[in-house]
Amino acid sequence: MALDDGRVFADFVADIVQGRDLQLKSDGRAIRAFCYLADAVEGFFTVLLRGAGGKAYNVGNPGAEISVGALGELLADLFPDPPRRLVLGPRTGAGYLESPISRNSPDVARLAGLGWRARTGLQAGFRRTVESFL
């Protein structure tokens, strides 16, 4: 993951790794479901090995659904040294694209029917991700 990716999870990880306050370029109300990479890869292989041809499968972790504002607060609590706060930044500028989607959480029932489930929660996934950059 590139820390200058521009999406909220990469921005937050970059802020933590660089010891900054967490910058949020929205009102923080959008809800997203974050999926740890190892869980996603396992989901992709499950589809490849057990899935039916011509069927669509969602891969994601609806159990890790959270508003981006609450995610920022969670990460500030997970990495309290140095103390950091969630700062609402400007919602304009080069590269900023406001999402019209207020909630994005996949229905993974079809994939779960193949025996797959996400194993990594928000805290563990973000802790591992941040620590991989330290």
Whether the per-residue pLDDT at 99 is higher than 70: the answer is yes
Whether the per-residue pLDDT at 59 is higher than 80: the answer is yes
B/e letters for 102-133, b = 16+ CB within 10 Å, e = fewer, are eeebeebeebbeeebebebebeebbeebbeee
Angle in degrees, CA 31, 33, 38, rounded to 5: 160
Whether the per-residue pLDDT at 7 is higher than 90: the answer is no
Whether the per-residue pLDDT at 27 is higher than 70: the answer is yes
Q: Is 83 left (phi over 0), alpha (psi -120 to 50) or beta?
A: beta
How do the domains of the chain map onto residue ranges? 8-133
Whether the per-residue pLDDT at 18 is higher than 90: the answer is yes
Whether the per-residue pLDDT at 95 is higher than 70: the answer is no
pLDDT value at residue 100: 78
Nearest alpha carbon to residue 27 among 70, 83, 85: 70
Determine the average pLDDT of the residues in 125-129. Answer: 96
pLDDT band for position 119 (cuts 50, 70, 90) = very high
Which comes out higher in pLDDT, residue 63 or 101? 63
Give the fold, CATH level 3, of 8-133.
Answer: Rossmann fold (3.40.50)
pLDDT band for position 97 (cuts 50, 70, 90) = low
Whether the per-residue pLDDT at 93 is higher than 70: the answer is no
Determine the average pLDDT of the residues in 22-38. Answer: 91
